[in-house]
Amino acid sequence: MTLVGRTEGFRDGKLVLAADLARNLAKGDADYLAILDEADAYVARNGLDLPEEPEARDILADPECVSDPILELDLAKAGITSIIWATGYSAGYGWLKVNALDGNGRPVHQRGISSEPGIYFLGLPWQTRRGSSFIWGVWHDARYLADHIAKQRAYLAYKPAALRSTS
Q: Same structural domain for residues 23 and 6?
A: yes
Distance CA 8, CA 136 (A): 27
17-37 tens-digit pLDDT: 999 999 999 999 999 999 899
Domain of residue 68 covers 1-72
pTM assigned to the model: 0.51
Of the candidates 14, 131, 150, the residue with the CA atom closest to the CA atom of residue 71: 14
Q: Same structural domain for residues 63 and 92?
A: no
pLDDT for the residue numbered 164: 63
Q: Same structural domain for residues 113 and 161?
A: yes
79-126 tens-digit pLDDT: 988 776 665 556 777 778 888 888 888 899 999 999 888 889 998 888
Count: domains in the chain = 2
Q: Same structural domain for residues 58 and 123?
A: no
Q: Same structural domain for residues 19 and 60?
A: yes
Q: Same structural domain for residues 49 and 104?
A: no
